[in-house]
Copies of this chain bind each other. A is one copy, B any other.
């Protein structure tokens, strides 16, 4: 009677596996850690692992899917606040900056993952592309509700700043990176809004 993918009770062992995978994959990379490591730190046995996941690749996909849902939740919350679009964009940027300055930040989980899966046909690579397309579309919609004709390049610009900030956030001084990022976003929003007053 065990449920399908919409099962409400995800089995404690499975959740422990996914949490451990998230922590280790995000913190140390994917190819360089073996399933034994995740299994032992999640305090489960190999048999249990292979009962819940067909293999390592599936665990990686589940890890990215969880990250995707977490970010969508953040953005959806910002949108649900019902503020004007520029303020929503600022809120999204703020949540990105907050993430960069949070403990254990190791860059963008999706950019890191795609660096290890260059093959465009690979499921992991495609999961990254899907996530990024959603994010770009979301920003594009927000930009379009400010001004339509130039919304797309503005959204591209926003995402480019985000990618740069996420990439450099664990390589340089985080505070400086966030200042630069937020300043760039603010300039971008103002320039874009100035095209169509109110």
Q: Does A194 contact B (CB under 8 A)?
A: no
A contacts with B, residue count (CB < 8 A): 43
Q: Is the CB of A27 within 8 A of B118?
A: yes
Q: Does A35 contact B (CB under 8 A)?
A: no
Residue from B136, B161, B176, B187 in contact with A164 in the complex, judged by beta carbons closer than 8 Å = B161
Residue from B107, B111, B184 in contact with A157 in the complex, judged by beta carbons closer than 8 Å = B184
Most B-side CB within 10 Å, residue of A136, A160, A168, A184: A160
Q: Does A144 contact B (CB under 8 A)?
A: no
Q: Is the CB of A160 within 8 A of B153?
A: no
Q: Does A71 contact B (CB under 8 A)?
A: no
Which A32-91 residues sit within 8 Å CB-CB of chain B? 32
> In the complex, how many angstroms separate the beta carbon of A168 from the nearest chain B beta carbon?
6
The chain B residue with its CB closest to the CB of A184 is B157
Q: List 8 A-B contacts (CB under 8 A).
A: A128-B171, A129-B171, A136-B172, A156-B180, A159-B168, A160-B181, A161-B161, A167-B167
Q: Measuring CB to CB, which residues of chain A are less than 8 angstroms from any residue of chain B?
A: 27-29, 31-32, 106-107, 111-112, 114-119, 128-129, 132, 136, 153, 156-157, 159-165, 167-168, 170-172, 176-177, 179-181, 183-184, 187, 191
